[in-house]
Amino acid sequence: MKPFTALTIAGSDSGGGAGIQADLKTFEEWEVYGMSVLTSLTAQNTTGVQGVHHVPAFFIETQLTAIEEDLPVDVIKTGMIATLETAKMIGTWIARQNIPYVCDPVMVSASGYPLMEEETRAALSEYLFPYATVITPNIPEAETLLEMEISTERDMEEAAQRLVKEFGAGGALVKGGHLDGEAVDVLYDGEEVRMYREDKILTENTHGTGCTYASAIAANLAMKRTLSGAVEQAKPFITEAIRYSFDIGSGKGPTNHWAYRKEREQ
pLDDT digits (tens, 9 = 90+) for 32-45: 999 999 999 999 99
pLDDT at 90: 97
Cα 157 from chain centroid (whole Å): 19
Q: The whole model's pTM is what?
A: 0.95
2: left (phi over 0), alpha (psi -120 to 50) or beta: beta
Active site residue 211: yes
pLDDT at 183: 83
Active site residue 209: yes
Among residues 103, 208, 212, 235, which one is catalytic? 208
pLDDT at 120: 72
Burial (CB count within 10 angstroms: exposed 0-12, middle 13-18, buried 19+), residue 90: buried
pLDDT at 106: 82
pLDDT at 200: 86
Residues of the chain with pLDDT under 50: none
Q: Could you tell me which CATH class the domain 5-261 is placed in?
A: alpha beta
Among residues 133, 209, 212, 239, which one is catalytic? 209
Domain positions in the chain are 5-261
Active site residue 208: yes
Among residues 15, 170, 171, 210, which one is catalytic? 210
Burial 109-139 (b: 16+ CB within 10 A, else e): bbeeeebbbeebbebbbebbbebbbbbbbbb
